[in-house]
Amino acid sequence: MNVTVADVRRVLDAAYPPELAEEWDKVGLICGDPDEPVSRVAVALDCTDAVADAALASGAQMLVVHHPLLLRGVSSVAADTPKGRILHKLIRGGVALFAAHTNADSARPGVNDRLAELLGVHPGAPLAPKPGRHLDAWVVRVPGSHAEAVKEAVFAAGAGSVGDYEACAYELSGRGQFRPGDDADPFLGERGRVEHVEELRIEFVAEPSLRSRVHAALVEAHPYEEPSFDVLESLVGDLDPEAAFGIGRVGDLDEPMPFKDFVARVGERLPATEWGVRGAGDPERIIRRVAVASGSGDSFLNVARKLGVDAFVTSDLRHHPVDEALREGGPCIVDTAHWASEFPWCGQAADLLGDALGVETEVLDIRTDPWTVAAAGHNTDTTEENR
């Protein structure tokens, strides 16, 4: 099988649908020719200079990362700028760059599923569910004489597909009426007179992305000067909350344990960083139900409290939000390094591509956590002059 950059992108987009990304996010192919061949893919969390160098040294033709290199707006990617330097390096070396960020956070399985499973937490419902996926539900009224022509036209435009089935529709007969205006050119009836017509009501679904194509096909095949139709939103997919897409996961811990032991488990099971792992809350509180949110998650502190979980694991927490959450009776809180909570996903993405495309994959085991030095304080003097 001759795999291309486009093939890798197709598999990643299917696993981590771009529509799941937050509005502010910038996911997808950042650089690279979709037609170029790929036999080896490197995976990392961030595209730093060290990661780009390692991808080139590995012989990879594509680098897949979690954090988009161009997330913040730039006006130049000149080779003497930090981001431009990396892009030029990759392009010159024939390495395409792809990012799956908040879409991978919300997907199943995704970043949050991997984090939950690693900590022994069942990856249940998301903390912030995404709206269910929708299809366009079309309702068309047409004279019986032209019903088949209209159906054939919209099906040819891509409508009427449900899973492994095609040309799917529902019909219901009824009686329609209309009165052509003075400037109308009616297919049936006369200007100024009410006309009654035996019609078929035809219902079918289509992907929202096909709306313009389906509409054009409908207008072309329909005999009326002004075709009668509606387009509604139809919720599809599994309605089980535990199957919903979204940021974070909530589930039961595999075995209840004191909070101090749970914090120790998080520290043992996540990749090591200088930042380490810290906990806030009663060390003896028994932890049974846990919420996790990979990456920066202090915006979910109140959500975790309302869900009644015993512990919440996330990253990049600040003093005041944590203090207030504890005062309000919230759960115990575990603060991890941002990189450590998300890096385990890299292995998941690498396995996905290897299984789906048969390409060689390599997780670049480079710690891109920016914190490189830590010091444990020993001064216990809290007098005013030492604050």
Most confident among 17-21, 148-152, 377-381 (mean pLDDT): 148-152
* Burial category of 315 from C-beta neighbours within 10 Å (exposed 0-12, middle 13-18, buried 19 and up): buried
pLDDT 10s digits, 136-174: 999 999 999 999 999 999 999 999 998 889 999 999 999
Chain centre distance of CA 227: 37
Q: Helix or strand or coil: residue 381?
A: coil
Q: How many residues appear in the chain?
A: 387
Residue 309, number of CB atoms within 10 A of its CB: 25
Q: Is the pLDDT of residue 287 over 90?
A: yes
Average pLDDT over every residue of 231-249: 82
Task: Report d(CA 332, CA 328) in Å as an integer.
Answer: 11
Top pLDDT among 11 and 1 is at 11
Q: Supply the pLDDT for residue 236.
A: 66
Split at pLDDT 50, 70, 90, the class of 351 is very high
pLDDT band at 192 (very low <50, low <70, confident <90, very high): confident
State the DSSP code for 232: E
Q: Is the pLDDT of residue 273 over 70?
A: yes
Please check the confidence at residue 303 and state whether its pLDDT lies above 90.
Answer: yes
More reliable by pLDDT, 234 or 341: 341
State the first-to-last Cα distance of the chain, in angstroms, to the nearest integer: 65
Residue 128: what are its φ and ψ, rounded to 5°? -130, 85
Q: Which DSSP category does 22 fall into?
A: -
- Examine the pLDDT at 17 and tell me if it is beyond 60: yes
pTM (two decimals): 0.76
32 to each of 61, 64, 65, how far by Cα in Å?
9, 12, 14
CA gap 32, 61 in Å, rounded: 9
pLDDT band at 268 (very low <50, low <70, confident <90, very high): very high
235 pairs with which residues across the strands? Answer: 134
Higher per-residue confidence, 190 vs 265: 265
Q: Give the mean pLDDT of 374-386.
A: 70
pLDDT at 293 (0 to 100): 97
Note the pLDDT of residue 283: 97
Q: 183 and 194 in contact (C-beta within 8 Å)?
A: no
In 3D space, the residue among 107, 60, 8 whose CA is nearest the CA of residue 360 turns out to be 60
Q: Does pLDDT of 178 surpass 90?
A: no
User: Above pLDDT 70, what percent of the chain?
Assistant: 96
Cα separation, 95 vs 312, in Å, equals 38
How much is the pLDDT for 308? 94
DSSP state of 153: H
- Report the distance separating Cα 372 and Cα 366, nearest Å: 13
Scanning the chain, the segments in alpha helix (DSSP H) are 5-15, 49-58, 82-92, 102-106, 111-118, 147-156, 211-221, 259-269, 301-307, 319-327, 338-342, 345-357
